[in-house]
Chain A
């Protein structure tokens, strides 16, 4: 159904709690934007590279993480070079590269399900006005809906292709929305029928 970016492993980074990894990312992110410049960038870059080595990820994974942004970074480099010279151009582009690699490091070493569990654990001591059961329901429903909506879209695309309308966004979006909204109402009726509200 969905291919996660997760790379299996047993390194300390794989085993660390998702919360700590996210906090680490926030620290690196803040340091890179608020820090004194090159020293923090060097330190952050070294930390991220050490992280990749520690998690036994290959340079291939780093390249794959940077590839979607290669054009935008190249453009940014050119603009900064023209506006303010080599030093700032290199700094800004390298800072983005380090940030993106740091974020990719977390994504590559953490399963999505671990994040959901972590989020729920984080919410457990939250006050009563936080609708915990609803958040859990929304996340699990969304994960269930992803393949459903994709199948629905594919079905409608084939139906409209028979009419020569497969490139027409309106002819795809209207039936997609109407059918999706209808099934959402059926599903909420089913949830009501099982007295979900009583538990909240």
Chain B
């Protein structure tokens, strides 16, 4: 791992925090705010690649855990991991890694369509696959109830996948950082 990678990791942790200032839309009945931060998870994977994206999310969540109010709505501290939605935060690391991995694999064929599919698989299917069972266990509710809680967020997440896809392709064209899987890493 190079110093340049360390800088990108730190940078994306800060970008995640910056996305928190977009005002969250909280549905009063559901409590889970719809924020631009899950967009940041998709962008981390799609811009940095698997390893750096996962480490950037780990760093961001460490900063949250030590009490900095970096989550949307100014939330932070250990408490956010212990609440019913803690699984989604941990899932961010896995989702960012998966999105990064898929982006590396499809790098030479990355279009708006493939980028959207990658964001949806990692940022919706995988993320919900971790967050839903987690909240079902800690809140002691049946799995179906937990699934019902999260379905209202899917439309908003699909919009975020579309935005992420456009941005991923734009960044690939103008400032590519990812080296595709299988290709020999070019010397800088």
Residues of chain A having any CB pair with chain B under 8 Å: 2-6, 22, 25, 29, 33, 65, 68-69, 71-72, 75-76, 79-80, 83, 88, 92, 96, 99-100, 103-104, 106-107, 110, 112, 115-116, 119, 131, 134, 137-139, 141-146, 148-150, 152-153, 169-170, 173-174, 176-178, 180-182, 184-185, 187-188, 191-192, 196-197
Q: A72-B85, A177-B15 are in contact. Are A83 and B142 (CB under 8 A)?
A: yes
**17 A-B Cβ contacts within 8 A?**
A68-B75, A69-B31, A72-B30, A106-B78, A134-B1, A138-B59, A139-B62, A143-B63, A144-B10, A145-B13, A153-B21, A169-B36, A170-B167, A178-B175, A180-B11, A185-B7, A197-B2
Q: Which residues of B contact A150 (CB under 8 A)?
A: 17-18, 21
Contact B177 A83 (CB under 8 A): no
Contact A184 B7 (CB under 8 A): yes
Q: A103-B77, A184-B11, A192-B3 are in contact. Are A169 and B39 (CB under 8 A)?
A: yes
Enumerate the 8 nearest inter-chain pairs by beta-carbon distance, A residue then B residue, closest first.
Answer: A72-B31, A107-B77, A145-B14, A141-B10, A103-B78, A103-B79, A115-B66, A71-B31
Whether a CB of chain A sits under 8 angstroms from the CB of B129 is no
User: Considering only CB atoms, which chain B residue lies closest to A109 in the complex?
Assistant: B67
Residue in contact with B141 in the complex, picked from A5, A29, A80, A184, CB distance below 8 Å? A80
Q: Which residues of B contact A149 (CB under 8 A)?
A: 11, 14-15, 17-18
B:130-183 near A, CB below 8 Å: 138-142, 145, 149, 163, 166-167, 170-171, 174-175, 177
Number of interface residues of B (CB under 8 A): 63
Contact A76 B21 (CB under 8 A): no
How far is B63's CA from A79's CA once the two chains are assembled, in angstroms?
33
Q: A68-B75, A115-B67, A116-B66 are in contact. Are A187 and B7 (CB under 8 A)?
A: yes
Whether a CB of chain A sits under 8 angstroms from the CB of B34 is no
Contact A6 B4 (CB under 8 A): no
Contact A181 B177 (CB under 8 A): yes
